[in-house]
Amino acid sequence: MDLFKVVNKDLMQIISKYLGEAYDQNDRLASNIKFNIPPVQTGCDYSTNVAMIYARALKKSPMQIASELVEQIKKLEYIKDAVAVNGFINMTFTNAMWEKFLAGINADKEHFGDGDPKEKVLLEFISANPTGPLHVGHCRGAILGLAISKLMKKAGYDVTKEYYINDYGVQIRTLVKSVQFRYEQCFGLHKDEQMPEGCYPGEYLVDYAKQLATESGNVYVGLSEDEFYGKLKKTIVNAMMDIIRADLKLLGLEYDSFVSETDIVEQGKIKKAIEYLSSMSATKTLEDGSVVNLPYIYKGKLDAPVGGSANEEEQEESKYSAEDQTLFRSTLFGDDKDRVVMRADGTTTYFASDIAYHKDKFDRGYTNLIDIFGADHGGYVKRITSAVDAISNHKAKLKVVLCQMVALEKNGEPFKMSKRKGTFVLLSDVAKAINIDELKLFMLSKSPDTQMTFDLVKVKEKSKDNLVYYIQYAYARANSVLRNFKAKFGKDYVFNSADLDGLMENCHKQIKEIVVFMAKYPSVILSSAEKHAPNMIVDYLKELASLFHSLWSTDIKLVDAENEEKTKSMMAFVTCVKDVMANALACISINAPEKM
């Protein structure tokens, strides 16, 4: 039961009827009507600013409007009291309403907080080059993407998780060349030679090359680089993707869809996307009043780039050419300069491939797109959102979530990762070193755009500073209370909504505070989903755990061996707390342990 959804619906019926034409004819004012849950110490449960918003439109004072609305609001059966205070309307719910809400939590169980059905969403994340196993730097994006997908599903969105396989281009040629070198070493070649410059020297390729040699023998020895690439590129990429899938499973992540860049290229989708954009244009009025037609695609030159970029795609895009190139007029959509889609020699750019891929998303019927990029791709955001605006004719929206890298420390010193140098920390190694829940909750504890330093020691500490321990311990503690009931009364506690009768009558203020806080949960789910911010759920869990742990510093007796009926009432309350904790933990793929 979403308590405030029910209340808001009833209140809006009263408010809209009272306001009449003033409500119907002014959407802007209506959108400013707010309902909120004031702090517990205010003595009220709910408040609205509607009287302040409509005072000028109705030519009445806020207090007059509030006083008149109060009389109507008091007629709702679950409103214990409603008062006008400084132009606001403050309401108090009946105890029966709160108890009904708690019963609804247990009735809904894992569906508590579920949103109404909404549009479908395509969420693309990680999409790391298939050149080897994932490193810990990929963890944050993977964990973030999984959490966002689950939260959006919880909020009612139809979410598809997609991985774009970058299996075309220079990095794949480099991968295959690296495998060829290691494969030929298995048959005595290159014994005293260094790995060719720019190749990937990671040990995982040595292992894979040995496997290839065992399975295929020496049939590929002596092939030219192009021949080896033609025969084995697909096999090698599939092997790397198997490694990546296995790494993702360690995080509990399985994708719904995989799209190959090679397929995008070989099916002619890049050419088709450029042709499609070539057929589109926009008009612009110049300072002299004349109107010009500006095609989205045109031939021209760009100024030589200033500065550099650490991002490979941006380095490739910024290569200066004195010759005419084929450009996308992204400045029409707010970008700071137009972008190259085809070089003077007729080859297409990374950006052109991305345009084709995002057009493919739109052609599959997706208009709500989310991409999770590493922070080093920040300069790429405006051009790709511009492209989506263009290829969808403004019908699709792309939200890019930038995910900051995680700083690693090794022996107290910064430790940089590089697949080519073979000096990276594998995700699989980290997963073996610590509990996956510890890793997930750590990665989700801050906003995606916040930089983090990963400390393998602190993440294992059993203290309040260790979020996963603190939160999971609250859930385990709730289960311990229920086991204590069995120890005292010789039977398991079985939830019965009737046990809640009278719970809220003269209850301790901290019991009331926890109940009110649990009522906020559905709105937190919706907000965190729409803001793509799983850290809001972590913050919610941390606060709920804190409130629950604080009960042990009060005189509240959760289990009273002398009063079974009162204890049952408390067990019903504890069960509801446990249900909400389990619900929220599941939303971010964290386990809820019965014991710790």
Tens-digit pLDDT profile for residues 556-573: 999 999 999 999 999 999
pLDDT in tens, 210-222: 999 999 999 999 9
Q: How far is CA 332 from the centre of its chain?
A: 30
On whether residue 17 sits in a domain, the answer given is: yes
pLDDT score of 317: 53
**What is the overall mean pLDDT for the chain?**
92
Q: How far apart are CA 417 and CA 136, in angstroms?
A: 9
CA atoms within 13 A on the CB side of 377: 21
* Residue 322: other Cβ atoms inside 10 A: 8
pLDDT in tens, 479-509: 999 999 999 999 999 999 999 999 999 899 9
Q: Are 136 and 92 in contact (CB under 8 A)?
A: no
Q: Which residues pair with 89 in a beta bridge?
A: 48, 84
Amino acid symbol at 254: E
Q: Which residues pair with 370 in a beta bridge?
A: 123, 399
* Residue written as token pair 């989700």: 444
What H or E segment, with its residue span, contains residue 189? none
Confidence of residue 439 (pLDDT cuts 50, 70, 90): confident
N- to C-terminal Cα distance for the chain? 30
pLDDT score of 459: 62
Determine the 3-state secondary structure of 70 from DSSP: helix
pLDDT at residue 366 tops 60:
yes
Domain termination residue (choose one: 65, 93, 121):
93
Q: What's the whole-number mean pLDDT along residues 321-346? A: 93
pLDDT score of 424: 67
Determine the 3-state secondary structure of 193 from DSSP: coil
On whether residue 270 sits in a domain, the answer given is: no
pLDDT score of 432: 80
Q: How many domains does the chain have?
A: 2
Among 15-24, 117-126, 207-216, 384-393, the range scoring the smallest mean pLDDT is 15-24
Q: How far apart are CA 523 and CA 155, in angstroms?
A: 9
What is the DSSP annotation of 455-469? -TTGGG--STTSHHH
Query: Parallel, antiparallel, or unpaired: how do β-strands 46-48 and 88-93 relate?
Result: antiparallel
Structure tokens at 216: 């295929």
CA distances from 379 to 156, 306, 375, 399 (A): 32, 13, 9, 14
Q: What φ, ψ does residue 533 adopt, rounded to 5°? A: -130, 80
pLDDT score of 419: 47
pLDDT score of 513: 95
pLDDT score of 596: 86
Q: Which residues pair with 165 in a beta bridge?
A: 260
Q: Are 475 and 592 in contact (CB under 8 A)?
A: yes
Q: CATH number of the domain at 68, please.
A: 3.30.1360.70
Q: Are 48 and 73 in contact (CB under 8 A)?
A: no
Determine the 3-state secondary structure of 400 from DSSP: strand
Q: Are 518 and 580 in contact (CB under 8 A)?
A: yes
Can you give the length of the chain in residues? Answer: 596
Confidence of residue 136 (pLDDT cuts 50, 70, 90): confident
Q: What's the whole-number mean pLDDT along residues 46-73? A: 95
Among 53-57, 286-290, 458-462, 584-588, the range scoring the smallest mean pLDDT is 458-462
pLDDT score of 186: 97
pLDDT at residue 320 tops 60:
no
Q: Spell out the residues 6+ positions from residue 444 whose beta carbon is closer than 8 angstroms to its own.
A: 143, 144, 147, 534, 535, 537, 538, 588
* Residue written as token pair 């260094």: 194
Q: Which residues pair with 123 in a beta bridge?
A: 161, 370
Confidence of residue 318 (pLDDT cuts 50, 70, 90): low
Amino acid symbol at 56: R
Q: How far apart are CA 205 and CA 553, in angstroms?
A: 57
What is the DSSP annotation of 238-286? HHHHHHHHHHHHHTT---SEEEEHHHHHHTTHHHHHHHHHHT-EEEEE-
User: Max CA-CA distance within the chain?
Assistant: 93
Confidence of residue 278 (pLDDT cuts 50, 70, 90): very high
pLDDT score of 433: 77
Domain termination residue (choose one: 59, 93, 127):
93
Q: CATH number of the domain at 536, please.
A: 1.10.730.10
* Residue 19: other Cβ atoms inside 10 A: 22
Q: Are 119 and 530 in contact (CB under 8 A)?
A: no
On whether residue 55 sits in a domain, the answer given is: yes
Among 292-296, 356-360, 413-417, the range scoring the smallest mean pLDDT is 413-417
Q: What's the whole-number mean pLDDT along residues 391-408? A: 92
Q: Are 33 and 51 in contact (CB under 8 A)?
A: no
pLDDT score of 421: 47
Sign of CA dihedral 360, 361, 365, 368: negative
pLDDT at residue 271 tops 70:
yes
Determine the 3-state secondary structure of 48 from DSSP: strand
pLDDT in tens, 510-540: 999 999 999 999 999 999 999 999 999 999 9
Domain termination residue (choose one: 38, 70, 93):
93
CA distances from 147 to 161, 220, 366, 449, 517 (A): 11, 43, 20, 15, 22
On whether residue 501 sits in a domain, the answer given is: yes
The CA R_g of the chain, rounded to the nearest whole Å, is 30
On whether residue 30 sits in a domain, the answer given is: yes
Query: Parallel, antiparallel, or unpaired: how do β-strands 79-85 and 88-93 relate?
Result: antiparallel
Q: Spell out the residues 6+ positions from residue 335 whose beta carbon is closer than 8 angstroms to its own.
A: 382, 383, 386
On whether residue 145 sits in a domain, the answer given is: no
pLDDT score of 319: 58
Confidence of residue 114 (pLDDT cuts 50, 70, 90): very high
Confidence of residue 427 (pLDDT cuts 50, 70, 90): confident
On whether residue 11 sits in a domain, the answer given is: yes
On whether residue 471 sits in a domain, the answer given is: yes
pTM above 0.85?
yes
Q: Considering the chain, what percentage of its residues have pLDDT values greater than 70?
A: 92
Q: Are 65 and 113 in contact (CB under 8 A)?
A: no
Q: How far apart are CA 464 and CA 461, in angstroms?
A: 9
Task: Give whichever of 2-6, 155-159, 281-285, 460-464 has the largest mean pLDDT.
Answer: 155-159
Structure tokens at 457: 């020691």
CA atoms within 13 A on the CB side of 240: 28
pLDDT in tens, 228-264: 999 999 999 999 999 999 999 999 999 999 999 999 9
Q: How far apart are CA 359 and CA 430, in angstroms?
A: 37
pLDDT score of 240: 97
CA triple 138-139-141, angle to 5 deg: 70
pLDDT in tens, 540-553: 999 999 999 999 99
Q: How far apart are CA 22 and CA 16, in angstroms?
A: 9
> Which domain does 23 fall in, by range?
3-93
Confidence of residue 420 (pLDDT cuts 50, 70, 90): very low
